Chain A
Amino acid sequence: QSALTQPASVSGSPGQSITISCTGTSSDIGGYNYVSWYQQTPGKAPKLIIYEVSDRPSGVSDRFSGSKSGNTASLTISGLQAEDEADYYCNSYTNRGTRVFGTGTKVTVL
Chain B
Amino acid sequence: EVQLVESGGGLVQPGGSLRLSCVASGFSFQFYAIQWVRQAPGKGLEYVSAISDNGDRALYGDSVKGRFTTSRDNSKNMVYLQMGSLRPEDTAVYYCAREADWYVDHWGQGTLVTVSS
Contact = CB atoms under 8 A, between A and B. Distances in A.
B45 A46 contact: yes
A3 B44 contact: yes
In which size bucket is the chain B interface? 20 to 34
Interface residues of A, number: 27
Nearest to A89: B45
B102 A36 contact: yes
Which of A36, A52, A102 has the most chain B CB atoms inside 10 A of its CB?
A36
A104 B104 contact: no
Given A1-B61, A36-B103, A48-B104, A103 B44 contact: yes
Contacts of B110: 45
A103 B46 CA distance: 9
A99 B105 contact: no
Interface string B95-112: 100001111110111100
A87 B45 CA distance: 11
Interface in A66-100: 87, 89, 91, 93, 96-100
Interface of A: 1, 3, 32, 34, 36, 38, 40, 45-48, 51-52, 57, 87, 89, 91, 93, 96-104
Interface of B: 35, 37, 44-47, 50, 59-62, 95, 100-105, 107-110
